[in-house]
Structure formats: structure tokens, C-alpha cells
Structure 1
Amino acid sequence: MKNLILCCGLLISSITVAQSSIKGIVQGGNNFLPYANVILKKSNNAVVTDSEGNYLFENLAAGKYEVVATFTGFQPEKQTITIADSTITTLNFQLRENNTLDEVVITGTLKPVSRLESPVPVEVYKPAFFKKNPTSNIFEALQNVNGVRPQLNCNVCNTGDIHINGLEGPYTLVLIDGMPIVSGLSTVYGLSGIPNSLLERIEIVKGPASSLYGSEAVGGLINIITKNPTNAPVFSADSFITDWGELNVDLGFKGNVGKAATVLTGVNYFNYSNPIDNNNDNFTDVTLQDRISVFQKWNFNRKSQKQLSLAGRFFYEDRWGGELEWNKGFRGGDEVYGESIYTKRWELLGAYELPTVEKMLFSFSYTDHDQNSVYGDTPYLAQQRIGFGQLTWDKKINKHDLLFGTALRYQYYDDNTTATVTEDVNWIPSLFVQDEIAFNDNHKILLGARYDYNSNHGNIFTPRFAYKYKINDNNILRFNTGTGFRIVNLFTEEHAALTGSRDVVVLEDLKPERSINANINYLKKFYTNNGNFIGLETTAWYTRFSNSIIPDYDTNPNQIIYKNLDGHAVTKGISTNLDFVFNNGLKMILGATYMDVSKTEEGVTTRQILTEKFSATWAISYRINKLFLDVDYTGNVYGPMRLPLLGDLDPRSEYSPTWSIQNIQFTFNKFKNIEIYGGVKNLLNWTPNKSNPFIIARANDPFDKNVQFDANGNAQATADNPYALTFDPSYVYGPNQGIRSFFGLRYTLQ
């Protein structure tokens, strides 16, 4: 018996000695990749790299192994290795950045799916894309996305919205982590102050998405997805200054609360306090701002491994623009003109996966927005509260990938204007269903429908259909069609009336806008023999609107007239994106869009205001490894747009010229965890005033004290006012800020 035990011991000992190991480092570019996944194929063995990118497999038997390393934002890499007995073998990985075609996306179908497998085309933009041209807010950051244009709506207060394929901001739904918390008032003010340090990626869907997201997702949607606290750096900092005196600071912190939760905190601070008037109209070229935003996100660790997260943000901003001698002592008076806006905003959002066998997720959000503004001597005091709750059930049955959902939206709005006589309160319950059917690896269709009930507008039904044909791994064709709707939220447009002398006229009880859309998308990937990559994606679309609510600036220059269009409006066009990734360190992202946006009423078709026929964007990057230097050249170009004039005598151009904003940046990344960057924005020093006698009408008389009117309220031509104008800062199509240099520093501690 003793001999048997001894033999067994010697056998176990020999087996233990014969065990081997595989170790190595996972890198991406010049950086180690923490928390990357390293997997032994055809086994259940997987590990995660440490903060320095190291991994280790132990107690392996001798033999041949396939090892795969993956990391979000990078292409997976697979290597095959043969190991002998009692050895420690080193196997390192150098991952290449993903070209964004294979990202996991959720916005198109409310489910995580490979972008290539999604029947709905979704564009994905990672933080690396926005770092090529650093900005202080998401609004400005989108200027280099093809088909997406940040539109300034006022020369004085510099507020704006996001246009997708030529459609006004109210047609675009902006989500944060899938929750519709940026809407109404915040389409004008809420896109600032989202800390860039918390940005994981931005997903963009162009075209109606009302069958999943309801009202406002008529022209498209933008989903701002924040980082998972588990994968975020322990600390990050990014700060830059410009020679105009702008200062932006982004900070991110991560910590563990025992074993119960991981918490991520982000802080953004922006300050600009240097009045500049380069166009000599005695008005600030850029609004002065003092802004702080604090965002915190919690991920709770549940024994079931099911999702539980909670996030909140507080935002406060004090901004003003106007005559250079304005100060807060003139706020609300008629001596010196200024537009002063105090914005205070709370946001709360979360997700809870129910403890059930079925995959059921409850998501919710709540926002409270308080605004205290004055435009000259006109006060605008507004409050908005939006609550949203949604329950989804994700169920797979054979070839059917089903999603059932119900949602409830609460909207409260009140202001001191004549457009809001009483408080506006709305409850909007919704039901939706989606079925994604995979006939085989090549053919997939998606069927969807949504029912909403609005207390003001009754029943609203929105269907959806999508088809994806995977020709092969490198060629994908998609067709999408569906309807959209937008309930009436007049206060999001009325901002234009508050900043000038135009009166708002609502001619009728406004009905919800409806749209029907069809688009076809083709994606092509090319791989050359030497490892270079080219990605091509082209989309053609056609959208027809009924009951359109288009502000009418033309009928009476002293009014903004709102009514449902007695006819229809159309946006159609074609858009192409090209991605190039070369082995020599050169990368290019090129985009171009051609579109036609028009309205037809009483048989007459006219081009809609502030819509360009063509646009293009580019981001060209080159890495000089020997110098540890990255060079980024970014820019955009826009074709002429029809602009809002104040009458036949207005000397300003009816159409804008073709214009372009171009930037260059140099980033030095030799030091571990540190990036030093600097460059020049608006290299061409382009500003709108260069092709016009003036931009702001009657800037010398902003309270219209010296304007003479006839019995119908129309301005009259006089010696002091030869063009019969009133004060109006809404003639705006591009930023007034000229050339400027910037310098910044990034630090990341994994």
C-alpha cells in the first residue's frame, strides 16, 4: 500500500513539473492595454491583463495553442504557439486600432450587436476621433462628423442645435446612455458640459427611429455612451487653453466601494472671460461662459452578474454676450444690450436588470431644468421636468430575436411667455415590439412597430422595416424604411424670437409632424496584400414630411409664423464615408454629403432656410514613430445656405458663401501615460462677416429706439435706418471665432 501511495505521489509530482505557462504583454500603439481579454481557443481558459497590460496562463499541458487577444476599439489578434514541457513561453500582442466597422453597437435595435451584423446602419465615433480636434463640449465636437452640422442660432448668446442631413435640431433626438434626457430646452443648452473624460463612444443613426425612441427621433438620433466604471482609468485629466483666453479642464476618477460597487466621477470646467470684438460691431464675437458639470456613475456588483447602474449629473452655466460695455448691472434693462443666461440642470438615469430567468431590463431617467434668462429687456424664465421609464424584454425563439417594450414619459413645461398660458403637462404611454429574423448568415430582416398615446394629440402609430443582405464578409447591403413623428414643442423654436424684435405668430392648433423615410446603405471593406485597409460606406435617403412645422421668416420680416405646412417637405440625398488605414502610420477619414431639402406649398417648391446643398469633412492623421509625434489635420466645408433676411432692402447676402473651418494638431506621446498637444484652430481665419457689410442688424440700436414703424408694424427706411431694419442677431450660419492657437496636456493612470 505504501508503495502504491509513493508511486501516485511521484506521478502527481511529475505531472506538476511538466506543467507550462504562457505569459506576455498586450499593447495598442505605444500604450499598454489594461483589462484586455486574452483567450485560449477551444477551451474555457481566459484571463484579463493587469494595469500594465501583462497576462499569464499557468498549469498548461505541452501542446499547440491558439491564443486571441481582444480590446474594445482594437482589432482582435490571434496567434498560434507550441509549448514544451516545463517551460515559460512569452507571447506578446500588438493590437491595431479598429477601423470602427466592427464595433458593438446598441442604438439601432436597443440590443448589443456587431455593427456589421446590425440591420440598421449605425455610425460609431470613439474618443480618439474627437481628440484629433479637442473641444470643450459635444456640440462643437460633432463638427467633423459627415452629415452632422452644429448650427448656431444666435450671434449674441451662441446657442445652437444639431442638424442631421439638413434637418433642424428639434428633429434630432440626443440620448445619454440610451436615455432621452437631452430634449426640449436642453437641445439648446444641454449639449455643453458633458465631460469628455467619461465618453466611451458616440453612436449616430441617420433617419427616423421613432418606432423605438418615439417623438423627436424624426431625422435621426445621437447616443452619447459613457464609460463603464469597471473599465475606466483610475484617474484621467485633460486640459487645454487657447490664446483667446479659453480654459477647459476635464477630470475623471474611479474608485471601488468595497466589493459592492465601482464608481466613476467626471468633472468638466470651462471658462471664457475675455470679450473680443474683431468684427467691430461693439458686440462680443463669442459668448462669455463660466460652466461646471459634475457627472457620477455607479456600477453595482450583483451575485447574479446582472446589470445595475445609476448615474447623475449636475450642470450650471452662466453665459452672456452683447455690447462690450455690458455688465450684470445692466441685466434686464434697456440701456446696454446683453443676453444673459443662467442655466441649472439636474439629471438622473439608471438601469436595473430584473432578477428573472428572462432577460428583462428596466431603464429610467429624470431631468429638472431651470433657466433664468434675459434677452435685452425681455425676460425668459422657464422650467422643464422630464421623467422617463422603460421596460424591455429580450427574447430569442429559434430564428427570431424578439424585443418587447413599454415606456412612460412625463413632460412638464412652463415659462413666462405668451405662448405658454398655463403649465404644459403631458403623459405619453408607449408600447413597442421588434422582431429580428435571421433566415441564414446572409439574410436578415427586422420588423418593428410602436404605439404612443399623447394626451394632446391622441394615438400615434409608427411601423419600421429593415433588411440586411450580407453578400460576403466584406460587402453588406442594407435597406431601411419607416415612419417618424414629432409632437409639438414650440418652445424649442421660440428662442429665435426672444433674441430680436420678431413677434411669434401661431396661426392654428398645431398637429404632430409625420414622416416616412427610405434609405439604402452599402458597406464595402478592402484589404490589400500588405495589410492596408480601406472602408467605404454609402447611404442614399429620401424622407417626406407632412404637417411640417417650419418657422416662416419670409412672409413678414417682423414675425416668425408657425403653422402646419399645407403641403409637404422633403429631404433627400446621398452620403459617403471613406476610411483609410495604412501601415506607414497614415490614417484618413473622409466624408461627403449632397442633399436637397425643400418644402412644397400650393404647388410652389422652395429651398428650406439654413440648409446646405453639399458638405464634406475630413480627419487626416499621420504618426511619426521616431519623433513620438502624431499630426492631425481636420476640417469641414459647407456649400451655400439660404439665410433669414429682414426685407428687400437688407444688404446682407441672401446666400452664404462656401466656407470651411480647418484645424491642425501636434501630439507628443513619448512619456508614459502623458500626451502633450497643441495646434491651431480655424487655420483660414474664416468668419461670416468677411462677405457681408454687417452680421447683426442694427447693432448700433439694439432696442429699436430710433426705428420708425408704419401702422402695420413694418420698419420704415429713414436717414438713420436706410435699409428699414430692426435689431436681429439671427442671421447666423457659422462661428464668429477666428484663428486661435491652443495648448493642452492629457494624463491617464490605469
Structure 2
Amino acid sequence: MLLISGLFPRFLLFSLCGMPLLARAQSGAAVRGEVHEAGGAASVLPGAVVRWLLPAGVSGPTTSTDGAGTFVLPFPAQASHRIIVSAVGYAADTVAVPTTTTTPYLRINLRGGAALGEVQVMGRTVAYSAKAVGNMQTISARDLTKSACCNLAESFETNAAVEVSTADAVSGAKQIQLLGLDGAYSLLTIDNQPALRGLSAPYRLSYLAGPWVGSIDIIKGTGSVVNGYEGISGQVNVQLKEPDKTDQLLLNAYVNDLGKFDLNAIASQRFNKKWSNVLLLHNDHLGNRVDRNNDGFLDLPLATQFNGYDKVKYLSGTGLVLELGVGALRETRQGGQIGFREDAPDAYRAAYGTTQATTRYTAQARTSYTWPGRPFQSLGLLVNGTSHDFGSTYSFKQDTGPRIYNGHQNTGQATLLFQSVLGNTMHVYRAGLSFLYDDYRERLADGRAYSTDTPDILAARQNRLRTERVPGAFAEYTYNNARNLTAVVGLRTDYHNLYGWQVTPRFNLKYDLRPATALRLSAGRGLRVPNPIADNAAMLASAREFVVAPNLRPETAWNLGGSLTQYFQLLGRQATFVADYYDTIFQNQLVADMYTTPEYISLNNLAPGARSFARSFQAEVQAEPLKGLQVKAAYKWLDVRSTYDGQLLPKPLTPQNRAFLNLGYASAFDKWRGDFTVQWYGERPLAHL
């Protein structure tokens, strides 16, 4: 069944809004020319970078030479008469542009440059990307040191775009929210490959150790169609430490007054110019039963995790790049009352308690080939596989026995991607094929039995089995006039063995209104197949009975929005102001109804004619009013509502208002550093407890 609603015309109208900008941007004059290696007319230099020489802080057009060594560089908004030409392995050259003609043509020769030693530059980076088409923020390695990043959950403490909340205080599970929606609606990728999805979603933020992370990119709104049809609210990409850019040995230890410790070891080795490897190891443990508020319950769950990942990288030097990674994880958790003992006889009758155990194996490979002399043309193959096994028990001191939830997931993904240009680098396209395999085996048994139960009815209620096979094809076109406009239009078509054909259109546009002002627009459709138990795993710790409707449909939604970015000077230093608004409109959603009755949690499709949406507005300013002092302040407004039993009500526990402030100070050469973060949340609507 093709899931396209009346919102499709709105998507087309939204996309066409950018077309006048496209036409306007193509009308400007430009400098044309060719770049050669000094010493021979036939030795053209493809891939040489050509840009205008402009004052610091002023952005301008940039381009690169095509396969014939030619380039077209539009004139900048701010007058300039000199360009800079550079290429890897050659000395850069600054060339004057003739002012006697409006269509100058240049012939430039570059000489081979001397090899330079490595120079490490450390500085304070701007969080918002000025070049990205989408609304993207980057949490750099330096930003990560502002937080006690034992794992990924703590890596967002100094970022206003993503909220991290405790989904379940008994097990300690945490989840992220983006645009007011749960983390399941945002695509989480590792090294730009989809990862930690499906049954791993409830606890996935604890599966990546903080010291492993090199940087984090946060993209609001629908992104590229290359990564699949998921990612309704956005994407969070975690870049792990690179084998060829990591210190040879890093040992990290953390111990607190509760008796919890974290141990990390990172070891890298460059075997030669082509081969390198990095080994990432992590162990954390809390064995003390802590109850400082004397309520009879553990303040933190008892937990032990062993986690390892190994990454190998090969650079041929002739265009071939290969990356291989394998990982394994084992984690156990125990929460509940102080007196609960998992191994005690009749433990489920003696005290309230929960246990969770996870075993996880991952493998991924990335292979890419770039044509020699054609840096804009490449072919890539991305493959990854996951085996995820999860088992849990929940004791409620009842004679029917504990609630048991077990889940197993096997996943395989493959993407073949080709990228090239149409004529020149102003027109870039990407096209490819993909295949997704998901196999789910879940069982939820809580000891409840009804007089109407037959063996078949009981088995159907307790077991959820699903196998997905999804072949797909996609294409994406990017127009970049190298001056003030970039537009990306993508379309993918997938055939789902359970839900038929699915079409996913997406559009992103960036237009520089002025050199220091950027407007971004995005529109697109997203889809995900829900996992009703795993998506609501926090409620397993309650006594509510899960009532799951049969024949659940995929969740589908349109996401429309945009942002305005303004760069300005404050007390002589650069500052940034960003305001964005996004509207996510669901065509269908898995509705977890906790309003209707306190005895049940009802999981069903969005009723026909019912509404569900998430609206998000955020305004943020980043500045350095004094040398070394960085300030980030933000305000966020959310309106997240869905229809419960015929009533349009706010989503439980989602605050409508939030304020954020982060102050960071660093002395010269980072000898002294300090950070202060405060967050304020408004009232949170409650359902039945």
C-alpha cells in the first residue's frame, strides 16, 4: 500500500518556494579558467580548490576544477580582485583577476610543494555548521570534555537541541528527545551508518562510551535519503575515534563516592602509511546498594558492562579506502527495592525488583573508491550486521510470578552508492541501491491468564514475531552555485515485504541572504516500523498490563521546517544567533495511551481522523563576550499532542517550555578550564500514575 497523503502537495509547494532563489542565483557573472601543473600544457589538475581572497569572517564562493582542469567561480557579494588556488601536493598560489572585462579567463600553473610536518591546531569551534545544507550542530571533541561523558547519554549535557531524560528510574534507562519526539524517531548512526535501532533503543545511550567518541553531529529535520526512510525528527551521527588520528595510548579511569567506576583504554597503531588500527575498550561497574533518601529503593541500579570495539582502516593512496569494525557488549542491570535479590528463592514474591541482561555483537564495513583525477566521482559499499539479545524480569510481589520480557533481533543492511557530477561540480548527484533485513523475536509474559484464553490466543498475546525484507533504490541531486545557494532534492522508493511500496521524498535548501545571514528550509517524509514493547520499555517496570492492538501499521509523518542563522560581532568577537521552527505531522503513529485507565497501557494505531503532531521552536545565541569566556543561551517551546480516546491531549512528561544556559571559561593554552550549565523545565503534563 502506498502511503502518500494530502500533505504531498504541501511538500511540493514547500519545495517550489526555493525555485525563484535558484533562478536568481544562476544569473551572476563568474571567473572562468583552467589549472595546470607547471611544466606541461597537458598536465591538468582536477580537484584543485579555487576560492576568493576575502577578509576574515567573510564567506564567499568556492569551487573546484573538473576532470579537464577547468573551473567556474561566481563573483562574491563583497568585491574582491584576487583568488587563491590550491591542490594537495602543490604550493598554493594567489592570482589577480583582471578588472578590464566582466568575463575573465585565467590559465593558472601550480608548482609542486615541499612536504610539511604535521601541525596541530586547537581552537574553539562554532557549534553550528555554516556550510551544511541542513540545520546541523557539531559537538566537538573539545565540547565533550565539558561533560563527565561516561557514555553517550552524558554527551549532550551542554547542548540545547537534544534533551536527555531518565525514561525509567528503576533500571536507569535514558533516552534522547529531538524536536519533542522520543529518540526512536531520530536516526542514530555510527560513522554515518544506521546503528542502535530496534530493540536496542531503550538502553542504546549506554552502549557507547564517552571517550570513544570523536564528535557528534545533530541534524534537525529530515536528512538525506541515502541513509534510509527512518529519521522522522532528524539524525544524530556519532563519529568514533579514527585509527589514523588517535593517540597511541589513552587510559582513563573514573571513580565516585557511590563506589561506581569506569575504566577506558584506547590504543591505536599505524602499521605503515596505508594500514592503521584502533582498539576501544570499556568497563563500568556499580556493586554498592545505595539508598541515600531511605525510601527502600536503590537510587541507582546495580550494573556491570564490558564493551569493546576494534576498527581497522586502509588507505591505498590511489583512491581506495577500506574500514572494518567489529564490536561486542555484555551488560547486566538490577534495580528495585534494597532487599531484592535476583538469586534468592521466590525472589519475585519477596520484594519488588527488575533485572536486565544484554548481549550484543556488531560488524560493519565501508569500502569506497575515488577515481584518480576525478575527486568528485566515487563508488561506495556500506555493509553492517547486528545480533542483539535482551532478557528482563520484573517482580511485583505477586503469586502469578514475575513479568518476563525477552527479545532477539538480527539485522543486516547494505548500501551501494555512486556519486558524480553533471557537467561540473555545481551539479552533483548520488544514486544507489539498498537492502534491509530485520528479524525480531519477542516474548512478553506476565502470568496473567483469562478464562477465554486458548493456547493459540495466549501464544499470540505473548509472542511477537516479525521478519522484514526491504530492497530499495534512491537518487539525490545537489545544486551548489558556490556563491549563495545550495539545494538538495532526494527521492527513494522501497518495497517492504509486509507493508508494500513506500515512497520517501525529501528536500533541503540553504540560501545566504547576506554573507552573514543564512536561511535553511527542509521538508520530507519519514517512516518507521514500531516495536510496541521495546518503544515503551519504561512502562514494563510498572504494574500496567500491556494491551497491544493487532495489525499495527508503520508510523509515517511529514516534517516541515526551517532555520535562520545570523553571524554578528559582539564586543569585537564573533557571535551566532539561530532560530528554528519544525512541524512534524503524523499520518499514523503508535499511540501509547496512559490517560484512559491506570490499569492498562493501550498501544494502537492513530484512529482514523485523529491528529498527532509535534511543533518545536528554538532560539539560541552563542557568543564570546570576553576572551576565553563562551556563553550559550537558549529557549525552547514545544507543543506535542496526540489523540487519546477521542481527546487531543499533550504527551505525558513533555514540558512545553525549557531554558538553557552554559558558561565556559578557558585560560590561555587551556591551562585552566571551567564550565557551568543550568537548565530549567516548565510544567510537565501527567497521565495516570
Could you tell me the TM-score, scaled by structure 2's length? 0.76
Q: Which string of whole-angstrom CA distances, capped at 9 and with x for unpartnered residues, describes residues 560-617 of structure 1?
A: 1111112111111311222213452111222221111112468742111121111123
Superposed, 1:117-136 pairs within 5 Å as 117-136=131-150
Question: Are 2:406 and 1:406 aligned?
Answer: no
* Structure 1 Cα separation of the partners of residues 337 and 209 of structure 2: 31
How far residue 46 of structure 1 moved from its aligned partner, in angstroms, is 5.8
- Deviation of 1:419 after TM superposition, in Å, equals 4.8
The structure 1 residue matched to 2:606, chosen from 560, 565, 578, is 565
Shift of 1:427: 0.8
1:97 and 1:143 map into 2 onto residues whose CA distance is 18
Q: Distance in 2 between matches of 1:220 and 1:419?
A: 33
| RMSD after superposition | 2.8
- Indicate the residue corresponding to 1:551 in structure 2: 592
8 A contact 1:215–1:487 mirrored in 2: no
Matched, 1:343 2:370: no
* Separation in structure 1 between the aligned mates of residue 119 and residue 279 of structure 2, nearest angstrom: 33
Q: Match of 1:390? A: 415
What residue number does 2:367 align with?
352
Whole-angstrom CA distance in 2 between matches of 1:116 and 1:450:
27
Distance of aligned partners of 1:420 and 1:405 in 2 relative to their CA distance in 1, 3 Å threshold = farther
Q: 1:229 aligns with which of 206, 226, 243?
A: 243
| CA pair 443-43 structure 1, distance change in 2 beyond 3 A | closer
Contact 2:138 2:217 in 1 (8 A): yes
SS of the equivalent of 1:550 reads strand
The Cα shift of 1:443 comes to: 2.1
What's the offset of the Cα at 1:632?
A: 0.9
Alignment correspondent of 2:577: 536
The structural deviation recorded for 1:493 is 2.4
Counterpart residue number, 2:403: 378
Report if the CA contact (8 A) 2:147-2:154 is conserved.
Answer: no
Aligned partner of 2:36 in structure 1 is none
Q: 1:441 aligns with which of 483, 493, 496?
A: 483
The Cα shift of 1:211 comes to: 3.4
Q: How far apart are residue 117 of structure 1 and its match?
A: 2.7
1:315 corresponds to which letter in structure 2? L
Distance 1:576 1:364 in 2: 38
Query: Match of 1:416, as an amino acid?
Result: R
CA distance in 1, matches of 2:338, 2:123: 51
1:605 matched to 2:619: no
CA deviation map 1:413-437 (0-9, x unaligned): 1122255636321111121111111
1:14-25 counterparts in 2 under 5 A?
Answer: none
Which region of structure 1 is more displaced relative to structure 2, 371-380 or 262-271?
371-380
Post-superposition CA distance 1:607-662 (Å, at most 9, x none): 1112111112332111244993211112322211112324xxxxxxxxxxxxxxxx
Question: How big is each residue's C-alpha offset from its partner over 1:487-508, in whole Å with a ceiling of 9 and x where there is no partner?
Answer: 2322322424432221111234
1:723-738 matches, cutoff 5 A: none
> Residues 292, 565 of structure 1: CA spacing in aligned structure 2 closer, same or farther, 3 A cutoff?
same
Residue 3 of structure 2: aligned partner = none
CA contact (8 A) 1:148 1:164 kept: yes
CA distance in 2, matches of 1:616, 1:159: 24
Deviation at 1:244, TM superposition (A): 2.0
1:262 maps to 2:276: yes
- Residue pairs, 1:58-457, within 5 angstroms: 96-101=123-128, 115-209=129-223, 211-258=225-272, 260-330=274-344, 333-354=348-369, 358-376=377-395, 377-398=402-423, 399-417=426-444, 419=461, 421=463, 423-439=465-481, 441-457=483-499
Aligned residue for 1:280, secondary structure, equals coil
Contact 2:415–2:433 at 8 Å: present in 1 too? yes
Counterpart of 1:592 (choices 613, 625, 635) is 635
- The one-character-per-residue Cα deviations of 1:91-149 (angstroms, maximum 9, x if unpaired) are 99976322234xxxxxxxxxxxxx32322111111122121121311013223321312
| CA–CA separation in structure 2 for the residues paired with 1:606 and 1:91 | 58
Whole-angstrom CA distance in 1 between matches of 2:215 and 2:393: 36
TM-score, structure 1 as length reference: 0.70
State the AA in 1 paired with 2:545: D
CA shift for structure 1 position 43: 6.4
State the partner residue of 1:74: none
CA deviation vs aligned residue, 1:320-370 (integer Å, no higher than 9, x gap): 111112223138632222211111111111200147674111011111111
Contact 2:596 2:645 in 1 (8 A): no
C-alpha contact 2:233 2:559 (8 A) present in aligned 1: no
CA distance in 1, matches of 2:465, 2:595: 31
Letter in 2 for 1:397: L
**1:210–1:453 Cα change, 3 Å:** farther
1:278/1:620 CA distance change after superposition, 3 Å: same
Alpha-carbon spacing, 1:422–1:153, altered in 2? closer, same or farther (3 Å): closer
Instruction: Give, in whole Å, the separation in 2 of the partners of 1:411 and 1:210.
Output: 21
Match of 1:491 among 533, 540, 558: 533
Distance 2:274 2:290 in 1: 51
- Cα 1:424–1:401, aligned 2, differ >3 Å: closer, same or farther? same
Looking at structure 1, the residues matched to 530 and 201 of structure 2 have their Cα atoms a distance apart, in angstroms, of 14
Distance 2:130 2:606 in 1: 39
2-side partners of 1:148 and 1:346: how far apart?
A: 27
Unaligned runs of 5+ residues in structure 2 are 1-83, 95-116, 396-401, 445-459
Tell me, yes or no, if the aligned pair for 1:476 and 1:522 is still in contact at 8 Å: yes
CA contact (8 A) 2:153 2:206 kept: yes
Amino acid in the other structure paired with 2:352: Y
Q: 1:616 aligns with which of 659, 669, 688?
A: 659
1:211–1:483 CA contact under 8 A, matched in 2: no
CA distance in 1, matches of 2:440, 2:298: 31
Residue of structure 1 in register with 2:45 after alignment:
none
The unaligned stretches of length 5 or more in structure 1 are: 1-40, 48-56, 58-63, 67-89, 102-114, 647-750
Are the equivalent residues in 1 in contact too, given 2:613–2:640 (CA < 8 A)?
yes
- Measure how far apart 1:449 and its partner are: 1.0
Report the alpha carbon displacement of residue 529 of structure 1 after superposing the two structures with TM. 7.1
Alpha-carbon offset, residue 213 of structure 1: 3.1
Deviations along 1:222-242, one digit per CA (max 9) or x if unpaired, are: 111112211111112232222
Alpha carbons of structure 1 residues 330 and 180: separation in structure 2 relative to 1, 3 Å: farther
Equivalent residue number for residue 34 of structure 1: none
Change (3 A) 1:193 1:581: same
Structure 1 runs of 4+ aligned residues shifted over 6 Å read 90-94
Q: Aligned equivalents of 1:318 and 1:91: distance in 2?
A: 44
Please say if residues 181 and 366 of structure 1, whose CA atoms lie closer than 8 Å, have aligned partners that are also in contact: no
1:350 maps to a residue whose letter is A
In 1: Cα distance, 2:131 partner to 2:556 partner: 29
Matched positions, count? 556
Distance 1:288 1:382 in 2: 21
**Change in 2 beyond 3 A, CA 1:490/1:210:** farther
Instruction: Percent identity, please.
Output: 22
Q: Distance in 2 between matches of 1:311 and 1:368?
A: 14
Select the residue among 478, 498, 504 that pairs with 1:462: 504
Whether contact under 8 Å (2:319, 2:370) holds in the other structure is: no
Give distance in 2, aligned partners of 1:44 and 1:570: 49
Q: Is the 8 A contact 1:542 1:573 kept in 2?
A: yes
